[in-house]
Structure 1
Amino acid sequence: MFVVAATAVMLAIGLGLLRAFRGPTLYDRILAVNMIGIQTVLMVAILGFLAERPEFLDIALVYVLISFVSTVAVLKFRIRQRPNPDD
């Protein structure tokens, strides 16, 4: 059952990579990369459960926090790059 779940997560990661490369907008790409990050956390959790290593969940939590902070940082950077429409 866990092999099927891991396979489904890998398939979803592949589809997310496809969306990240094809675009069409920057926000689609950011959303796809965020989705890949969440699915990577799921994969780490599944592998940690299969290997009976509970410390993998700590690694997954740290990874999801880094993924969230980096997504917010990229979006803030993008907002500052936009020209001001009032000028």
Structure 2
Amino acid sequence: MDFDSTVLAIIIGLSVFGLVRVLDGPTIWDRMLGFALFSPKVIVATVLIGIIINRTYMIDVAIIYGVLGFIGTIMIARFVERKGDV
């Protein structure tokens, strides 16, 4: 196992904590925190997968996921702030 694969395995292992918080969080704020923990790790994992398989378009996928993650966080915060009205 080379360095890139080892780092990818560690990132995937760490992202489990954020995913557990998203799925098991008792409040919406815990779920938002879990999403905020999970999203950057998915971006890093996507870039690492792109490096491992030698495909540069994976960086574009990571950038798009980052933008969508940011917009998703803003929309959830807006939903909670207005108590259900988007």
Match of 2:23 among 21, 24, 33: 21
Task: Say which of 65, 72, 77 aligns to 1:63.
Answer: 65
Number of matched pairs: 82
| Off by >3 Å, runs of 4+ in structure 1 | none
Distance 1:27 1:12 in 2: 20
Unpaired segments of 5 or more residues in structure 2? none
C-alpha distance after superposition, 1:9-32 (max 9, x if no partner)? 111111111222221321111111
Aligned to 1:54: 56
TM-score, normalised via structure 1 length: 0.85
Structure index of larger Rg: 1
Percent of residue pairs identical: 22
The unaligned stretches of length 5 or more in structure 1 are 83-87
TM-score by length of 2: 0.86
Quick check: 2:5–2:52 contact (8 Å CA) kept in 1?
no
Tell me how far apart the structure 1 counterparts of residues 65 and 17 of structure 2 sit (CA, whole Å). Answer: 21
User: How large is the RMSD of aligned CA atoms in angstroms?
Assistant: 1.4
